[in-house]
Structure 1
Amino acid sequence: MTAPIPNNSQGSPEADDDRGWLDDIVPNLEKSPETQRQGVDPNSPIVMVETAFLASAAGLLWLVNFYFPLGPMMIFFPLPIAIIYLRWGNRAAGMGVLVAVLLLSVLMGPVRAIQFLIPYGVLGWTFGSLWFRRSRWSFAIFLGTVLTTFGTFFRIWLVSLLLGDDLWLYATIQVTGFVEWIFNILGILQQPSLNLVQGLTVAAIVVKNIVYVGLVHVVAYILCNRLGNPIPDPPKWIQVLMDE
């Protein structure tokens, strides 16, 4: 009688290594805190489907706004990635950013994809992380303003590098003309200094980004509450304005 062939895969170090390698690629959703938080069947592909859908939505919003510029649409750029984080956690949000960047790289080229990634992709991931941890609006708006301001200067540098022209100089010239017009109205017979002009330019960028980040929070507060993934409550004075 022939003896049974032993199964060398059980208990061997090679088999353990293979199982660990497979676990990295196919995570155990039964232990995933995201699926437990949402009450999702571990065998359901909803995590992958929602992540792909929202990442595609983020990329398409950027694509549509590029060809048909609509100012209010910019408010929605970081929201799909933030919603992915709120629903499925850090890893899914990171994959969502990657999918959106790859999609835009194919449709519009790597330059436009980088312009989406910095700041809107990073901003969406950051907001999702802060809202998931119930951070206060003041801190989230401050950090978002820092990221968007950095993104503005990064885009100025990137476009200037590609065009071979200094866009910061162009912006400075425009602000100089505006300041001279204000000086003429006020009767100030003096040329604005370069430091004053550049300081006002930076201040205008910061103020614009503060307003933008604040509007993103207001829209996210309304939208995410309806989706069942609420973000932290706004300050009382904002709640009063929204109630009115």
Structure 2
Amino acid sequence: MSDSSEDRHSERPPDSQPGPTQSASPESSSPRPADLHTSTALAEPQVTSAAPLAMVETAFLASTASLIWLVNYYFPMGPLLRIFFPVPIALTYLRWGHRAAWMSALVSGLLLSVLMGPTRSILFLMPFGLLGVQLGALWRRRANWFVSISIGTIIGTFGFFFRIWLVSILLGDDLWAYITTQITELVEWGFVKLGLLIQPELALVQAIAAIMIVINNIVYLFVVHLAAWLLLERLGNPIPAPPKWVQVILDYEAD
């Protein structure tokens, strides 16, 4: 009998014997906090790149600039829409930097080239596309109005003569001679009103024409700055404040 009991004990399977590998505590079966943090971080990725938003806004502002030029060409409203020609590209520079601004100007030119032909596209890019990039760069660097208007006047004056040269080639006529003739008649009328019976010289007439072009660009840039100052501040991208005398005049008119 004793031998049979010993045989039964010896025949017990080894799996039923307790061992250190089979002892499991509740703490070992539950996930650790570090594992929970890792799984949460892997399950909720966050995209921090702003490239898609920059691309969408650049395309939208480029199409806006092209649309303003297109509407003003077919439905001219005087100088009203002309004020906003460089503003969308300048806003692109304020929001996304120089690369997006140049892309916006080039895309605007391509859109106008498809819609209106390459000539109108070039007339938009020079000077208004370049002017938008320049204004955006100076506004982002917080340059005062005197600096931005001065540089913008140089670009606008150069752009005017570039347009006269290009259109003269396309039309086969000298538009500068036509402008000189008109200025000559204006100067002669002024001399008659002053009682001066003299014939204006060609150099004087051309100098007066150049001065009038510069003054026209100064006034245009000043109005563009006023419109951008009132508009872009409401869009969350303010430009530098105007001079004190401009603020005093605007406050006086508001009162």
TM-score interval (norm. to shorter): 0.7 to 0.9
1:52 equivalent in alignment to 2:63: no
Aligned twin of 2:244: 236
AA aligned opposite 1:140: S
Shift of 1:69: 1.6
Compared with structure 1, are the counterparts of its residues 62 and 43 closer, same or farther at alpha carbon in structure 2 (3 Å cutoff)?
A: closer
Alignment equivalent of 1:61, drawn from 56, 64, 68: 68
Q: Distance in 2 between matches of 1:118 and 1:139?
A: 20
Q: Distance in 2 between matches of 1:116 and 1:243?
A: 35
Alignment equivalent of 1:196, drawn from 198, 204, 210: 204
Which ranges of structure 2 fall in alignment gaps of 5 or more residues?
Answer: 1-46
Aligned twin of 1:206: 214
TM-score norm. by structure 2 comes to 0.78
AA aligned opposite 2:68: L
Q: Distance in 2 between matches of 1:193 and 1:82?
A: 41
Q: Distance in 2 between matches of 1:145 and 1:203?
A: 12
Which ranges of structure 1 fall in alignment gaps of 5 or more residues?
Answer: 1-39
1:82 equivalent in alignment to 2:79: no
Aligned counterparts, 1:6-21, within 5 A: none
Q: Deviations over 1:130-186 (max 9, x none)?
A: 000111110000000000000000000000011010000000000111111111111
Shift of 1:55: 0.3
Give the secondary-structure state (helix, strand or coil) at the position aligned to 1:226.
Answer: coil
Q: Distance in 2 between matches of 1:73 and 1:167?
A: 25
Aligned twin of 2:141: 133
Aligned counterparts, 1:158-173, within 5 A: 158-173=166-181
Q: Deviations over 1:76-116 (max 9, x none)?
A: 00000000010111111111011100000000111100000
TM-score norm. by structure 1 comes to 0.82
Instruction: Report sequence identity in percent.
Output: 60
Q: Distance in 2 between matches of 1:129 and 1:45?
A: 22
Aligned twin of 2:39: none
1:151 equivalent in alignment to 2:163: no
Aligned twin of 1:218: 226
Aligned counterparts, 1:114-129, within 5 A: 114-129=122-137
Alignment equivalent of 2:99, drawn from 87, 91, 94: 91
AA aligned opposite 1:225: E
Give the secondary-structure state (helix, strand or coil) at the position aligned to 1:227.
Answer: coil
Compared with structure 1, are the counterparts of its residues 44 and 119 closer, same or farther at alpha carbon in structure 2 (3 Å cutoff)?
A: closer
Q: Distance in 2 between matches of 1:198 and 1:42?
A: 54
Give the secondary-structure state (helix, strand or coil) at the position aligned to 2:142.
Answer: coil
CA RMSD of aligned residues (A): 1.2
Shift of 1:72: 1.5
